[in-house]
Structure 1
Amino acid sequence: MEQIPLYQHIVNALTARIESGELQAGDQLPTEAEISKEYNVSRITSKRALTELENAKLIHRVQGKGSFVNAAKAPHRPVSRTSKEILLILPFSHNPGLGDYEKGINEYLATTDYTLNIQSNTIVSQRKLLESALQSTNSGLIFYPVSSISDLGILYQYHLANYPLVTMDKCIEGIPFLSVVSDNFDGGYQASKHLIENNHKKIAFISSLKVENSSSIRERYFGYLKALYDHSLIDYSVSDLTDRYLTHDNDNGREYYIQFIQSVMAQGITGIVAENDLIAIEIIQIAKELGLSVPDDFSVVGFDNIHLAGFVEPKLTTISQDFGRMGYQAAQSLITLIESPKDQPLEHVVVPVQLIERQTVKKL
């Protein structure tokens, strides 16, 4: 899964404040210096965030005075949805590890008269895609959000308009959309339990995003904590390390991982549960460059079971998500929501996960 750059976190936070009405038309935004201090980022990063907001026409900047909120333009939902087309919005344009989402969606849609249109926010921002979709004639939307707290203002407009929308991978904070997610809690629990069953006592969790920003990561983290608690392995020194590294604190991801690995070795940690496979693989590669070996120096469990997980050396032990089934369930839920909205139960669909044992966990 793609990681969100630091400037985008700031863009998302300020956009949410604008769309919620906390910051209104004409209000002045914090300065570059104030943003740098509040979010603990460089001036370059804060300047980039303000530039993105200006490009999105949410703010305007006055030389020597600062940045100000523009007058809002509320999107309007068309009265009728005339097409038989379903829109899928993804945070990536091509990801071989996650491609079965589309396969599962199309498998279900083949039993209906609906077709699928796919858009990604790698070029056009998620917010712009959402604004456009809300005013389109699409019958409904399957939405893979970049986080659980991004673009809440425009998403709440979908809720108010009763627009048929189902989220995949994450739930949206505070808005009761139907969602289709993996059993992330059980996945975090299984990954940790596997390390524990191999006699690991000090186990850390690492994420590229703050757990509060993503419901899926949060559930994996809670599953990890529950496994440690059930086996009386809560270690506050490890918890402190995990808390420090639940998100990048600078723009240099490589340096972030080097510091994490050094802390792991210094504290005698022998097992790591990674938020996803890409992070796990990067940890393994950097460990090699530092003269360390996985699993001899420490063990790693990933999450996702992307295609690459079975080809890296050593092959990655991971938690497998059934992306095809998630796509199928999302399409099924959305079509029911479109055609029989009164019969649609407001319940999340949770798809089981599976531990895939390979070569990155050593029995101690």
Structure 2
Amino acid sequence: MGDPVTGGSEPDQDRPVLRVGVVGAGNISGQYFQAVPRLTNLRITAIADLDADRAAAAAADVPGARIAKPEELYTADDVDLVLNLTIPAAHAEVAHAAIAAGKHVYGEKPLAATTAEARAVLAAAENAGVRVGCAPDTVLGTGIQTARAALDAGDIGVPVAATAFMVTPGHERWHPAPEFYYRPGGGPLLDMGPYYLTALVTLLGPVKRVVGMSSTAQQTRTIGSGPRAGTVFPVEVETHVTGVLEHANGALSTLVMSFEVWAGNLPRIEVYGSRGSLGVPDPNGFDGEVRIFRAEAKEWEPVPELGGYRNASRGYGVSDLARAFAEGRPHRADGELAFHVLDVMESLLAAAKSGESVTIGSTCERPEAVPAAARPEEQ
């Protein structure tokens, strides 16, 4: 790995800049391409995609970025970190290629398609002396961090339980190529579960045991829009998953993840304590209102901002990694947290199949809280 260049925009002219090579220029990449250029400790230098035209279109919108083939990007002297935005089935392969070339890796969720693949990625990174980060970084925004600060301050007493719901009829209604959502590595749990489970672990700590049930109501799906509208494809994963998570602190979280529900009035996340309840905003976003109901109150009240990166977007976890690496401390959206979340999801699916509870083999530390009004290049 070459020496990081220095520079960037004010106020941090002398701060090392981590040079980022992006692999995968699909739908999610646009959010990173908008956010990363405004982060002073990151610079996108190269973009690769199996579709060369798509890579070229992305590079045209990112000043200073060049087009590269994936195999060239991994070994490039002007790349310090590989941002892995490929489909879940390719996450481990891309990560290994980057690590073998001595690059740090930050990937979209999940960390890999299976815990076996994910553990191999983390082991390779440890041997190579490079860092692994993984989405979601939405938990670093003001929404989840404000909720965490309220919990840590004891505002609702001792946490007893939580609920987390993500229900939709499915992504094929709007996505032009939705098949990967319904193949191994996809499904509502592995697709959207990382947002909710990472939030629950951030709020309540690691999970030690799970029980669950699952179903697949439809064996095929039909693309609903775009040039491939009407295309029918098979469903290979569970599309409705429900479970109960036992956290190490004793709290019980009830989780429902579904691609089978057309409408519902369910909260995204709520946490219930011995002295009140906390309403937590959508963990697929970075901000949103946190609400509290105290034992002595008569109604819900808004919670003022207590923590988190303001105006954050996808890519802030990469910036947080870059800052932590420069300072020699752990980054927040790290591989061990992502591995634990993947382990919980895999164990929940196993519990659903066996009908028995499953003890989680992994654990992780709650990441360091993000202070109020923080910027990733400052914390």
Bin for the TM-score computed over the shorter chain:
0.3 to 0.5
**TM-score in terms of structure 1 length:** 0.36
The structure with the largest helix share of the pair is 1
**TM-score in terms of structure 2 length:** 0.35
